[in-house]
Structure 1
């Protein structure tokens, strides 16, 4: 299979999904209303609730959901062959991820910007809600701790990415002031911001920056982790318009251009995929493709973390409800294109099958490094960029994707801690709840030693926890639609598939952890499995009551239809 043909087919499928299926969901299923007063307008506070231009909000949403996972997951999953990964990413983006992200955004907007954890209490029940919060907290802890490790590793291995990574923060602060304080033209600000960011990439490629081997007794990678969490803590408290929103927007533009460069390299290099469509010669110890494929590729097909972003930050910034189609569904499209690019880069970026097999000598050997190496080789061959500059561009892309997700993840986990405090009868402020989040994440990260590798200890459970949360989010959407007497099948069918694969994977991992005598992951797997079964039972009961017309209240009555969704 030629990489150009595969890229064309994949992009066409995903964009057709946005043009056709997202419109059907917006008009017929969620029935987005242009005149509905969104929480950003109703509860505007200038900190978390801020009405935002849909293009700026899309940038925040896209870069928040598209962390390192849509690169790592597909780059690992191609070990089973490129075709299963390709099909799950394309079909998943169109019928699973876009529907899920748009739906979570709509559900939160219709409930005053409440998170999925808070909504679970109303639509599933108090018993299920408490377990739902446990799953959410664990997922966000995994994301924040693991992404800090991934970013620090890239900053150490690719020092040319240091200047553009941290310089992007200064650019974002200036962009925020230009847009909100000085009311500059958005197009002008966008062009200037993107030029500044790519200038930083060129500067970083010429002047690499490395920390000393030891900083205050910590290895360089560990020092970067501490710095990242200190930054994320400050960023999570600042008003969204000041740093989070402009950083994500301008990074979104830069990263979309980076995707354009990556896909341009596919076109001009014109290489064939050296990896097999179905790999019958997988390394010893590689788990079965079913169900592991569907949890290895989470972000890029469907991801519960997206529901947290949709309901945690994006819903509080949505100016018009009809903007949800562009922000939510097209945000999933952007991530699907990144995952597709990762599949092609890691299967066409090597000269021979033998070279590819050397990289994929064991399960989990692929990942960000395979993406950077393979994509860099394609950029060098297709666009004529130097090997160093190609690596800098792709490493900076990976770092910025992961960093913007970490920014949002710390803010979201702060919301969860505050919600948990409210349930337990005490109130936590922004600063105190942020301190709790950072302390817990650092304790996990450095729990295995000063090298900070502890952040990856519970990462093997990320895929199953993430997909479990996605399935439970779809359960909330199904209950909402059933209460409103609407067609819930576009939600119910993907929900059943995701939950079946996830619970199956949890049982498979249970055996693996037991055989490896990994008692920490074994205990966590049992906790997540119990929570999964319990919340699934509660969700089925809630859907059955909604189908019979029980539990509905005045707020569930249909609003007067406006002029329709765009």
Structure 2
């Protein structure tokens, strides 16, 4: 099978989802109103609530949700063959991710920019809110701790990426001033910013920066990068969004979008064959069942609960007009689906032979970012003639920037969670940004170094539960949206069907993982799995009760 055929089929179906399906949802289901006064205008403060150009906001939303997960998940899931991963990414993007992401923004905007966790208490009940807040905290803890490890390892493995990754921060600070103070027009700023970022990428191979294996006694190079990343993220999380978060996400979004076009162009020129089998019937020993594990291994790129946190946590506070939701939410999901599609193609067609591919995928969980970088560099080098080291640097920077922008937003969201807990439990000190930020960073570092030791990779210990916890969070978000639609007397099946599917797959996957953790005698993950499983079952019960209650209320009012 030609990779080019799959590329055009996948992108064509996603485009159909955006131009047809999202238009129907926006106009007939959400009924987006261009005259509705958004929270960005109602509560404008120049720090968190800032009315933002929809293209800049799309850049923030897209790069915040498109972390390393839409690369890692699909590039691991192809171990079952390329067809299942391809089908789930394309259909999930069309019918699951778009309505989930846009719906989360809409629900938040219509409720004073409340987070989806806080909204749960209003539309479902306080018990559901308590469950939701625990799940949200776990997901953010995993994302922040793990993405710090991912970026640190990338910079240790590919020192040529250090200058572009850190240089992008300084470019963003300049871009933020140019846009906010209207010194230059957005198109001019965009062109200059992209040129600067790609200049850094081409400078990277000639200016590699290698962190020593041991910076000081007891502190490895990997741990040093993790500490620096959290220091940066803590500062970024309290700065006004226009100063760093928005411009960094926007300009990175453009750079990453161009990077995807380069990757797509190389695939078209080279026209590689899908080396991996369509359905892999000879999976390595220990590989779990395709169903339901496929649907939690690929979360980001098909549907992801983390997106709901970004949508209702930061995006809704910056929305200029309600009708911008379609472009920001639905097209943001299309962007991530496009990244996941690229990961599938390079992780299955970017190898010289089937034997090379099988060597990469000799056990479940292998592949990931390594397969993306090596497979993509192979395709770009042979398709466009770019030196392999430069191509590898480009893709490494893409992965690191995706993870970095997600980490920026994730830590800010974790700060919001602590502030919301401060409001719920009347703890005035916790409502303030600085203490909440210190709690957010402290909890991540406690996991990173408390569970992982001096290396700081503790987040990887609970990462096996990310997929199920993340999909449970997506189900909770869809529950909130569905209840709101019922209350407004609008069709609910467009969100209820994905909700039911996710709950079934999540609960089944959690049960499968229970057996795995028991056989491995991994009692920590076994206990945590039970907590998430109880939460999932509780969500299903709350879902049924809330929908029944609201439908009865609507029927009584009629």
TM bracket (short chain): over 0.9
Residue 545 of structure 1 contacts residue 551 of structure 1 at CA under 8 Å; is this kept in 2?
no
Instruction: Give the corresponding residue for 1:506.
Output: 510
CA distance in 1, matches of 2:473, 2:399: 24
CA distance in 2, matches of 1:457, 1:53: 40
Q: Which moved more, 1:533-542 or 1:86-95?
A: 533-542
Does residue 1:157 correspond to 2:146, yes or no?
A: no
Kindly report which structure 2 residues correspond to 1:417-436, keeping only aligned pairs within 5 A, or say none: 417-427=418-428, 428=430, 429-436=432-439
Kindly report which structure 2 residues correspond to 1:154-553, keeping only aligned pairs within 5 A, or say none: 154-217=154-217, 218-427=219-428, 428=430, 429-447=432-450, 448-549=452-553
- How far 1:288 sits from its partner (Å)? 0.1
- How far 1:550 sits from its partner (Å)? 5.4
1:21-79: CA deviation from partner (whole Å, max 9, x where unpaired)? 00000000100000000000001011000000000000000000000000000000000
1:402-459: CA deviation from partner (whole Å, max 9, x where unpaired)? 0000000000011011111222221211110110111110111112211112120100
CA distance in 2, matches of 1:86, 1:473: 25
CA distance in 2, matches of 1:97, 1:25: 13
Residue 151 of structure 1 contacts residue 403 of structure 1 at CA under 8 Å; is this kept in 2?
yes
1:362-410: CA deviation from partner (whole Å, max 9, x where unpaired)? 0001100010000000000101011100000000000000000000000
Instruction: Give the corresponding residue for 1:561.
Output: none
Residue 97 of structure 1 contacts residue 303 of structure 1 at CA under 8 Å; is this kept in 2?
yes
- How far 1:536 sits from its partner (Å)? 2.0
Stretches of structure 1 that go unaligned for 5 or more consecutive residues are 558-566
Residue 546 of structure 1 contacts residue 552 of structure 1 at CA under 8 Å; is this kept in 2?
no
- How far 1:551 sits from its partner (Å)? 11
1:144-187: CA deviation from partner (whole Å, max 9, x where unpaired)? 00000000000000011000000000000000000012342000
Query: Secondary structure, in 3 states, of the residue corresponding to 1:321?
Result: coil
- How far 1:312 sits from its partner (Å)? 0.2
Q: 1:431 to 1:551 in 2, by over 3 A?
A: farther
Query: Secondary structure, in 3 states, of the residue corresponding to 1:458?
Result: helix
Structure 1 residue runs of 4+, over 6 Å off?
Answer: none
Q: Aligned pair count?
A: 554
Q: Which moved more, 1:99-108 or 1:513-522?
A: 513-522
Instruction: Give the corresponding residue for 2:60.
Output: 60
CA distance in 2, matches of 1:275, 1:535: 38
CA distance in 2, matches of 1:542, 1:453: 40
Q: 1:175 to 1:366 in 2, by over 3 A?
A: same
Q: 1:551 to 1:310 in 2, by over 3 A?
A: farther
CA distance in 2, matches of 1:449, 1:129: 33
Instruction: Give the corresponding residue for 2:87.
Output: 87
Q: 1:552 to 1:405 in 2, by over 3 A?
A: farther
Q: 1:240 to 1:152 in 2, by over 3 A?
A: same
Query: Secondary structure, in 3 states, of the residue corresponding to 1:440?
Result: helix
Q: 1:525 to 1:110 in 2, by over 3 A?
A: same
Residue 223 of structure 2 contacts residue 456 of structure 2 at CA under 8 Å; is this kept in 1?
yes
Query: Secondary structure, in 3 states, of the residue corresponding to 1:215?
Result: strand
Residue 98 of structure 1 contacts residue 329 of structure 1 at CA under 8 Å; is this kept in 2?
yes
Instruction: Give the corresponding residue for 1:23.
Output: 23
- How far 1:127 sits from its partner (Å)? 0.9
Query: Secondary structure, in 3 states, of the residue corresponding to 1:209?
Result: coil
1:315-342: CA deviation from partner (whole Å, max 9, x where unpaired)? 0000000000000000000000000000
Does residue 1:73 correspond to 2:73, yes or no?
A: yes
CA distance in 1, matches of 2:439, 2:216: 23
1:207-231: CA deviation from partner (whole Å, max 9, x where unpaired)? 1111122223311111000000000
Q: 1:552 to 1:461 in 2, by over 3 A?
A: farther
TM-score (norm 2): 0.98
1:496-523: CA deviation from partner (whole Å, max 9, x where unpaired)? 0011000110111111111111111111
Stretches of structure 2 that go unaligned for 5 or more consecutive residues are none
Query: Secondary structure, in 3 states, of the residue corresponding to 1:517?
Result: coil
- How far 1:552 sits from its partner (Å)? 11
Root-mean-square deviation (CA, aligned residues, Å) is: 1.2
1:194-249: CA deviation from partner (whole Å, max 9, x where unpaired)? 00000000111211111122223311111000000000000000000000000000
CA distance in 2, matches of 1:320, 1:441: 35
CA distance in 1, matches of 2:75, 2:501: 23
Residue 483 of structure 1 contacts residue 552 of structure 1 at CA under 8 Å; is this kept in 2?
no
